A and B are shown apart, each in its own frame.
Chain A
């Protein structure tokens, strides 16, 4: 094995996977180094789960290669599995076993010594506020707690490579913060982490983002580098009448697109300075009340729309809700 940091922990080259007529992964290439949090984002059906399944060695690809720690996943799956931890999109633990029994099962399967298991389990459960539930059946936990238990089981053997498929879906904001704290700790220990997420606001927490779209992976960069790639600028206009505002602004010259957000609209324009007054005027003409328009850093969702188009964002939002 190579030195940590020198050789990428995960190296994916020209990976392709088809299901009949559907190309779930289309010639995808990327690498993840140890100590890196790598985000996989994309609309429903983009192929995120399929990529993670191939990485975890539970699904065979049609062509291309996957190496983990310099070892070929296809040729030596068992050797790779001991180093990998995978948390599937669907909850995969035993609901008729208790929290402790689940942890113990996965620790045994990965041959974690008893003392190490006790110590790690205690730390992970404390970090996610779950100590009180150790003797509860997993099936009786809330959705968020199930996900946290899943993470605990996944991390009990101190994996070098961690693959998480939408682990925070259905998890409340407080628990999500705990979740991410655990992931940061893991990153500090030098693990390579690949995470797909339904929450675009979480994407900013990743070191690097891969934007997937119908099997392809057109963008793969740090969030700020992605932002720099976005042509034009983003203007935020808070208004209670977002729908009307979108109609009014769509035809203003210099406007590329308008996206409704929680408390107003985000307008993608060619040049913020030039556009601001035009936008204000258009809204005033229609009598749409609003507070001051201002240029903002584009959110990941804005990037999504700008880079992949509206269809992708629409699909993404439906999936996230």
Chain B
């Protein structure tokens, strides 16, 4: 491998990106837009939903549940109601969007059937808020019922078993119900995967489309030099994009960052190598900018947003689907980011996902370094 050739390709590629408004926008504007879109998409869901309660039971336990709602920043308790008629009134008059109705048999249900049924009446004019508010409400209720349950068990001296009730809400939300802190690190992973693969998916295809490839093929450039030279500029751009994402996460979304930047830099680099090589491979195989970038988008967005654990916790997925997530390279980076951001983990604590990323790196570099064929047909 000749450094001179690698740097010639890298420099040329960088100049081309710099002079092409479309590539430049993709490189620098897309991460900003994606962060805003996905970040606010998470945030926009709910907070301070005006809520009324109708406590039919009026017991200590039901009041304790209402106190839970009061404590949550997702709900603003505006009034306590006394009758069904008032519910209609409150909803129609726009006093609240959600009414929590605690039935008369609430305490007995919990102690005897291990199951609390609380009615949530929701103003469904805003479909999205309605769905999410209901889910949050049920999460509050189930969390509460869990605790009560465990307290009973503890009193009886029995073993504390996990409550199946909690499962459904947990698929959507983390335990603290603080979705933003929990999800933004995952958004960073998704944005980097998306932008990185998009950028490199254009690079080889562009040469074929513009007719510059035939001449390039006749030069002594080797497949390995081609890959490294082509990917170097995008690696730098990827790190800049990571900086942009990090700034958004910390300054705009106020996600706590408890880890070390060095850890972040190292793991981000490992992740970028995978992402960039996947885009490059698609570009080599498809030889067409539009096709390659669309497939890059397709293989990135859906699998990562569904299976990386970025919104849906992996440990709560059915076993078969959980098995599939091991293939999703982003899951390792999502795990790493969440741990670095929220728990302040270092490399030592993250050796599992880090070595998975390294394995992936070796695999994609091995394939991509050979994929390029110096032939027209």
A residues less than 8 Å from B11 (CB atoms)? 105
Contact A84 B16 (CB under 8 A): no
Q: Flag A68-79 by CB within 8 Å of B: 1 or 0 each.
A: 000000000110
**Which of B9, B11, B210: most chain A CB closer than 10 A?**
B210
Q: A105 CA to B7 CA in the complex, in Å?
A: 10
Contact A87 B215 (CB under 8 A): yes
Q: A92 CA to B210 CA in the complex, in Å?
A: 8
CB distance from A25 to the nearest CB of B (A): 14
Q: A216 CA to B215 CA in the complex, in Å?
A: 25
Out of B19, B215, B218, name the residue touching A93 (CB < 8 Å): B215
Interchain pairs with CB closer than 8 A, number = 78
CB distance from A87 to the nearest CB of B (A): 7
Q: A109 CA to B215 CA in the complex, in Å?
A: 12
Q: Does A274 contact B (CB under 8 A)?
A: no
Q: Does B147 contact A (CB under 8 A)?
A: no
CB distance from B27 to the nearest CB of A (A): 15
**Chain B contact residues (Cβ within 8 angstroms of A): what range?**
20 to 34
Q: Are A109 and B5 also in contact (CB < 8 A) when A56-B218, A88-B215, A91-B211 are?
A: yes
Q: Does A247 contact B (CB under 8 A)?
A: no
Out of A78, A95, A106, A110, name the residue touching B210 (CB < 8 Å): A95
Q: Does A179 contact B (CB under 8 A)?
A: no
Which B residues, 1 to 54, have Cβ-Cβ distances below 8 Å to chain A? 2, 4-5, 7-9, 11-12, 15-16, 19-20
Q: Does B155 contact A (CB under 8 A)?
A: no
Contact B219 A109 (CB under 8 A): yes
Out of A57, A93, A105, name the residue touching B8 (CB < 8 Å): A105
Q: A171 CA to B125 CA in the complex, in Å?
A: 69
Q: Does A188 contact B (CB under 8 A)?
A: no
Q: Does A172 contact B (CB under 8 A)?
A: no
Q: A56 CA to B218 CA in the complex, in Å?
A: 6
A residues less than 8 Å from B20 (CB atoms)? 96
Write the chain B residue with the least CB distance to A56: B218
Out of B8, B9, B211, B218, name the residue touching A58 (CB < 8 Å): B218
Contact B375 A59 (CB under 8 A): yes
Q: Flag A82-107 by CB within 8 Å of B: 1 or 0 each.
A: 10111110111111110001001110
B-side interface residues toward A, CB under 8 Å?
2, 4-5, 7-9, 11-12, 15-16, 19-20, 210-222, 374-377
